[in-house]
Amino acid sequence: MTTADRKPRAFSGIQPTSDSFHLGNYLGALRQWVPIQDTADAFYCVVDLHAITVDHEPKVLHERSRVSAAQLLALGLDPEKCSLFVQSQVPEHPMLAWILGCETGFGEAGRMTQFKDKSAKQERTTVGLFTYPVLQAADILLYQTEQVPVGEDQRQHLELSRDLAVRFNTTYGSTFKVPEARIVKETATIKDLSEPEKKMSKSSPSPRGCVYLLDEPGQIRKKIKSAVTDSEAEVRYDVERKPGVSNLLNIYAALGDTTVAKLEAEYAGKGYGDFKGDLAEVVVEAIGPITRRTKEYLADRAELDRILAQGAERARQVASRTLAKAYKKVGFFPPAAL
């Protein structure tokens, strides 16, 4: 295969910190993963090492990692087209993270906004949470990644990955590819249905603020119909004055394969009731197949685990070569075979 024929390398990961992914995860990043596997050599990872930077129950984490993998397959990832695995299956991730941590400034790590946000919300802040972005950089750089499909909220972490790649290459010689972000602008950040000034999150203060991919149809309809709007009755896009309606328009346009402008015209003169009712059905129709397929994958856990083991084997083939190169550059002995 010539250089021109080679597919670009893509990598992305997601934490298994909830019983289900939510609509913000799906529209902000996960939906991009599916077409990318057709155009890139794609590696997708359930990042369970990142999940233990906060308190957790081991059995719950293990189960959530499996459910996360099942959802990713249900979304359309094909193990014949991409490598899907769980991060802890590939020990090269923390091994490279140590090297990169020694290249990262203390102040540089402390400026990461997600560390500030997460540390402010919990009583105990760990070193692992502080160095989380360094491990994320290792995740990306291990695979000589060129494209990183992520949500807008991860842009700062990706910039650190780029900085560390350039710094290491400058100090020790060419070792890592410098990755580029791949972010969908229109749906980069889906907002909370109850507090549309905030992004949709599993930690939403209201259980109705977050739509999960494994929600039942009745739950979805109830959440959409109770979504915060405003005292007007005009379906119009205005992020500053009408953040709730604007968020719903973004969701509708993304899932309904249409545009905000067309939706504004379609619902001109109609109230929020009609708009929300139609949107609820669009969301149910989009999420329903994902829920069904997830249950099918979870019904055959042996096959699911086989898929993950296969993905991890492929991932280790690539990751071990990168790690060996980095080890040699910094003066380490080569890692022993595991």
Active site residues: 118, 199, 202
Q: Which two tokens stand for residue 202?
A: 């599993």
Residue in 230, 210, 205 with CA at minimum distance from that of residue 21: 210
Question: What is the rounded CA–CA span in Å between residue 55 and residue 53?
Answer: 7
Side-chain-side CA neighbours of 13 within 13 Å: the count stands at 30
Residue in 122, 121, 123, 139 with CA at minimum distance from that of residue 131: 139
Q: Which 3 state secondary structure label does DSSP give 212?
A: strand
Q: Which helix (H) or strand (E) holds 130?
A: helix 127-130
SS3 string, 168-213, reads HHHHHCCCCCCCEEECCCCCCCCECCCCCCCECCCCCCCCCCCCEC
Q: Which two tokens stand for residue 240?
A: 């500053």
Angle between helices 272-299 and 58-75 (to 10 degrees): 110
Q: Which two tokens stand for residue 300?
A: 């055959």
Residue in 7, 23, 16 with CA at minimum distance from that of residue 248: 23
